[in-house]
Amino acid sequence: MAAFVETATEIALAAGSLLRYFFERRVRFEMKGDYDLVTEADRASEKLVVERLREHFPTHSIVAEEGGGQETGTEYRWYVDPLDGTTNFAHGYPAWNVTMALEKSGELIAGVVFDPFRGELFAAEKGSGAFLNGHRLKVSAASRIADSLLCTGFPNHNRKTNPNIHYFHDLAMSAHGVRRGGSAGIDLAYVAAGRLDGFWEFGLSPWDMAAGIVLIEEAGGVCSDMAGRKHFLKSPHLLADNGLVHAELLGVFGEISAGRSRHAMPVPSAL
């Protein structure tokens, strides 16, 4: 199995160099939807990743964001996000990554997230731990929301019907802060690294979160949907944290979902 992580790492490093080349030259973007950007860098990176995965693992299925993958019907499936954080990338904001994860018979077994800008390679394989540039990772020790730094995301799809602003507001009033990094792969890797205590988002795609789930679980954290059900890419809604704040976060999510936010949202006229 180490061979899977090693190969994915090699491919992620190559895709990362390619993405840096485009980033330094600033590429034009096109719109795939109201808020959904895509660039030639997304497509070039996907081509590289998919071609190399096929060379190494010709029988494996590949699900890739820009559509370059294919189903082969075998037990192994790769999830590829060739550029996670395209909006940041297109604006010259240095928070984006390339990420891929491997599933075997429905279970995630390996994942990598590479941030070329900081030279940080997060890698994990089931049962062997999670690592940042070779150093073992462990989730944070914060045990209360009140002591936590959290992070969330607002998806590119169906943003107008996404209720996240209510959860964002409530938790911003309760925690040390809520970040919105713009790159789910890095956000999740930071939970595994103990730089963040928890992350959530409504409406993720499997390639956004697959590697992050392996990283967090291997670093001692917990991933579920917003109702606490074990999360294996079956739900687009993800709550991922150090495990110590999971129950409290689930309680808060339950309250907000039932319309009982603990902090009234101020109206603009109050200014």
Asked whether position 81 contacts Ca ion by CB under 5 A, the answer is yes
Q: Is residue 204 part of the contact set for ligand IPD (CB under 6 A)? A: yes
With CB under 6 A as the contact rule, the residue among 69, 116, 153, 221 that binds ligand IPD is 153
Of 47-55, 119-127, 180-188, 218-226, the window that binds ligand IPD (rule: CB under 6 A) is 180-188
Q: Is the torsion defined by CA of 228, 231, 235, 241 positive or negative?
A: positive
Position 208 contacts ligand IPD (CB under 6 A): yes
From 11, 15, 65, 175, residue interacting with Ca ion (rule: CB under 5 A) = 65
DSSP assignment, residue 178? E
Question: Is-contact 159 34, C-beta < 8 A?
Answer: yes
Q: Interacting stretch for Ca ion, rule CB under 5 A, among 27-35, 74-82, 100-108, 167-175?
A: 74-82
**Residue 156 contacts which entry, ligand IPD, Ca ion, none (Cβ below 5-8 A, type-dependent):** ligand IPD
115 is an interface residue for Ca ion by CB under 5 A: no
Distance CA 169, CA 137 (A): 30
Q: What residue type is 174 in one-letter code?
A: S
Identify which of 125, 123, 121 has the alpha carbon closest to the alpha carbon of residue 109.
125
Segment interacting with Ca ion (CB under 5 A) among 8-16, 80-88, 111-119, 150-158:
80-88
Q: Name which position in 84, 125, 170, 225 contacts Ca ion (CB under 5 A).
A: 84
Check: CB of residue 111 under 8 Å from CB of residue 11: no
Closest CA to 83 of 62, 108, 100, 60: 100
Distance CA 218, CA 210 (A): 13
Q: Is 201 in the site for Ca ion (CB under 5 A)?
A: no
Q: Which residues contact 21 (CB under 8 A, 6 or more apart)?
A: none
Cα angle vertex 181, ends 177, 186, to 5°?
115
Q: Which parts of 57-96 interact with ligand IPD (CB under 6 A)?
A: 81, 84-87
Determine the Cα–Cα distance for residues 31 and 93; give it in Å rounded to an integer: 18
Q: Are 145 and 175 in contact (CB under 8 A)?
A: yes
Instruction: Write each residue from 31 to 50 as x if it is in contact with ligand IPD (CB under 6 A), else as -, in one continuous string.
Output: --------------------
Stretch that binds ligand IPD, among 7-15, 17-25, 179-187, 224-232 (CB under 6 A): 179-187
Residues making contact with ligand IPD (CB under 6 A)? 81, 84-87, 153-156, 182-184, 201, 204, 208
Residues making contact with Ca ion (CB under 5 A)? 65, 81, 83-84, 208
